[in-house]
Structure 1
Amino acid sequence: MSVERSIAIFSPGLLGGSLVKTIQQRMPGVGVRVWARRSEAVDEVLRVLPGVLASTDVATVIQGVSLAVLCMPIQFMGEISQQIAACELSEDLIVTDVGSVKNSVVDELEALFMPTKAAFLGSHPMAGSQHTGLVHSRGDLFHQAACILTPTSHTKPEHLARLRSFWSKLGCRIQEMTPPQHDHCVARISHLPHSMAVLTTLAALRQDTRVLDSSAGGFRDTTRVASGDPGMWAGILMQNRIEVIAALQDASTVLTELLEMLQTMDEEALRRFLAQAKALRDLLPAV
């Protein structure tokens, strides 16, 4: 199995910066390069992440690397991938990503890189925060996080093995799914919870923010992810809208059940409803 000799990180935000820090900790001797869209971001990278090559020039960053990781919002991955594909690429280059949607991304990028020397294989480390930006990056962000790989019929076994090895070295637990399976799964365990946090925040506060003076941990925990970047999340929800709509329709059905129990004062049904939710939530492994 090929050992990565140098890795290019495209976009140094929370995930990109955390990748650099983790690679430097867990893969000593592997060169790291960082691409940023703006020169000010390059300057920040050089201050925060010593020992990396950083540039706004795609060709400089991609030259000679064996692995490239796209860490920008998914709606911008196609544009930067076209620039990468136009460069001189290493024979063994794998391009992957950290995006939260896979079906549309894999379809586009796998086809884009197929005529080149490089290959695309999707990744999704289930790690992150409501915070954004390089300033919040951490070297332990991926520790024990699930990382979903999404191979297709075009994926070479050796490429899959290399990506499994890469994410494992960063501390991740590896899973494999098809791109459609991935999008169905994350719609339920990531995109729906984010949507519900947004709905809860708006329903609770849009008419009167003064209630926040009495809020406690429950409200903070339930709505934490609603503080995520609106632009990034708009892209995620739109790209995975079919699966998100299905999940929200199921949520609407359950909400209607709850409303009916309260309107009819059916306490026994309400107890069963709450008990079922508790039993299902208790299936979640302890951290």
Structure 2
Amino acid sequence: LWGLNLTWFIVLGVIGAFGDMPGMTARETMLPRVALLGGGKPGALDRLVGVRESLSAVLMLIGPGVGGLLVYLLGVSSAALFITAGTSLAAAVLSFAISPRAGEIESTVVAGAEHSGGVRRLFADLVAGWRFLLGSRLVLGATIVTGVFIAVLAALQATVLPAYFSREQLPELSGFAVTGIALGSLVGAGVYTAMIGRTSRRAWFVIGIVGSMIGFVALGTLGAPWMVIVAAVLIGLTNAPMSAVLGVATIEATPDRMRGRVLGAQNALMLAAPALTSAPIAAVASGFGLTAAGIGIAVLMAVTGVIALVAPAFRGLDTIEPSNEQEG
């Protein structure tokens, strides 16, 4: 409307995230109720999460292409941004199609805050969410594993892969590597959804961990460009089912009355995770070379994978009972 500079870009980005993150948390919180309203058949929640993973992968594939097409047709102008704003408006309008029953919540009061004012009650709810997350081995383990994967993928996409392909004088392939992750995720999530009820969650989790470890080790060596792209596809292919399993496990392990607070705390960690790794990995790449950074990523993912495979918290993924952890 009045010209976009770096300051306004950051301010508007913060404003957008301020609304988007609570909205994302609310949608995740409603998933069990949506599955129940849809009939509540066995495996309904797993199928719903699998479909969501597939749609996310599809959008990762077509989003950059559509964005590039808009810039090509309309140029670098506000027209493309108005179209983007229109998609956000469409999403807001579509949200009215969700049954109000999907968002119904029980009126609960955190122990010790029965007579508290608004700010104190808000703080008590916040503490309760973090306390549950840190006290549940399954939810905490799922958060850590997912956070490490998100952090490493963010560092790869933002730093290592662009620098590697630029060094190889093939900068255009950097986008293909990211597309490879999305393509693998689409196939992996689709297979997971189709196999619900025929393959155990634990089996998918093991496949996801082992496959991702192999993919990250192959990618971390930063060998031939084709190997890096194939490794990216393998990472997406195996990580998508594992992410779906951990997402369902977190939902099922969290009592209904706590789910919004716990998922809010988890999403806060997911947002912080990339910031914790991007700078150190970039520093390693700058000081010791891209190969050292790639090997560091491979070692980090290998250690994370081995710990996840032997962790007792992930052995009962097919028989999850909501925790009895109290809110106070």
Q: Fold-level match, TM-score > 0.5?
A: no
The normalised TM-score by structure 2 is 0.23
Q: Comparing both structures, which one devotes a greater share of its residues to helix?
A: 2
Structure ranking higher on relative contact order (CA contacts 8 Å, 6+ apart): 2
The normalised TM-score by structure 1 is 0.25
Q: Comparing both structures, which one devotes a greater share of its residues to strand?
A: 1
